[in-house]
Structure 1
Amino acid sequence: MELVTPEIGLVFWTTISFLILLFLLRKFAWKPILGAVAERENTITKALLQAEAAKEEMARLTSENENLLKQARAERDAILSDANKVKNQIINTAKEAAQKEGARQIEIARIEINNQKSIAMADIKNQVASLSLEIAEKVLRKQFEDQKKQDELVKDLLRDVKLS
């Protein structure tokens, strides 16, 4: 029961011990502890500020990346559009060149056909003329075998000449 109702000496020495402990703690422990707590608080505050700055930097970089992606997409679209235009232009140019070349080839073929036709017609005319002369020669030889027929022919020709 002594603890429940302590004597005055115990209370005195306990108080003195507590005050000495409080003084020693204040003198040697609280300053370093409070300094460490303040330093830790500063470190945490700096870390939070750095985290916030890193978050803002990430947002800025993300925004820049999105802008760069938009620009890259726009450039890609422009390049593809230009490539399609060039492709269509090349195709149209090739079509026009092919049509011109085809028309030129057709014209050359037409001229060649006409030349060959003219040559063939001249050859046929020569052959017909040659055959006609041969036939006429044979007919005239047959007719002129007889002198009487020759005289009649000359008379007919003279009559025709006089009449004309």
Structure 2
Amino acid sequence: MELVTPDIGLIFWQTVVFLIVFAILAAKVWKPISEALKSRDGFIRDSLQSAEAAKEEMKQLKADNEYLLKEARIERDNMLKEATKIASDIKEAAKEETSKISSKMIADAKAVIETEKKAALADVKSLVAALSLDIAEKVLRKNLDDKKSQEALVKDLIKDIKVN
């Protein structure tokens, strides 16, 4: 049983050695370990604060990105509406220009047709007048070959003339 129960001297020397080792550890090792733990604690706190700040910044960036995306979509929609309106205006202007040009061409064509018509009528009238004169000349020559017919014609013409 002696092996199981320690002697008082052994307990004393173990206590003395423990206290010496404890004093050496407290003097030489405990401070650096404590400072390292404090430094590690501060680093972890700073890291957590940085992570929290980064998290908040990411939330803010996400909100800003969503706002910018919303603004970009609104601007895109406005640009599309404006482009559609401009295209519609260009089409309308082209239609109006085409209408004006076609109206002018029609008016010019009508004027040319009217001028040609008047020229043709004038040609026909001059031709009819020339033919009438030729016919009248031939008829008069035939009818007025003798003296009696000439006198009868002059008398008829004098009767038709009215004096005012």
TM over 0.5: yes
Cα distance, 1:87 vs structure 2: 2.5
| Equivalent residue number for residue 58 of structure 1 | 58
- C-alpha distance in 2 between matches for 1:134 and 1:158: 24
Residues paired across the two proteins, number: 162
Equivalent residue, structure 2, for 1:20:
20
User: In the alignment, does 2:11 pair up with 1:11?
Assistant: yes
Aligned AA (2:137): E
What amino acid is the match of 1:131? L
* Residues 139, 24 of structure 1: alpha-carbon distance in 2 compared, 3 angstrom cutoff: same
- AA partner of residue 52 (structure 1): E
1:74 Cα offset (Å): 1.7
2:30 maps to 1:30: yes
Please state whether the residue corresponding to 2:4 is helix, strand or coil. Answer: coil
Query: What's the offset of the Cα at 1:148?
Result: 4.9
Change (3 A) 1:3 1:131: farther
Q: Which residue of 1 aligns with 2:126?
A: 126
- Percent identity at matched positions? 51
- Root mean square deviation, CA, Å: 2.3
Q: Structure 2: give runs of 5+ residues left out of the alignment.
A: none
State the match for 1:143 in structure 2. Answer: 143
Question: Equivalent residue of 2:29, what SS?
Answer: helix
Offset from partner CA, 1:135-159 (integer Å, 9 cap, x none):
2222222223344544554555566
Q: Mark the CA change 1:21 to 1:130 in structure 2 (over 3 Å): closer, same or farther.
A: same
Partner Cα separation in structure 1 for residue 3 and residue 54 of structure 2? 60
Compute the TM-score of the two structures, normalised by the length of structure 2.
0.84
Q: Distance in 1 between matches of 2:150 and 2:49?
A: 141
Q: Secondary structure at the match of 2:5?
A: coil
- Cα distance in 1, alignment partners of residues 75 and 161 from structure 2: 97
Deviation digits for residues 42-96 of structure 1 (CA, Å, limit 9, x no counterpart)? 1011101101101111111111111112122222222222222222223222322
Q: Which residue number in structure 2 is paired with residue 95 of structure 1?
A: 95
Further displaced range: 65-74 or 76-85: 76-85
Residue 122 of structure 1, CA deviation: 0.5
Match of 2:81 in 1: 81
Following TM superposition, the consecutive aligned residue runs of length 4 or more in structure 1 with deviations greater than 3 angstroms are 145-162
User: Gaps spanning 5+ residues in structure 1: where?
Assistant: none
Specify the code of the residue in structure 2 equivalent to 1:60.
Answer: Q
Aligned to 1:113: 113
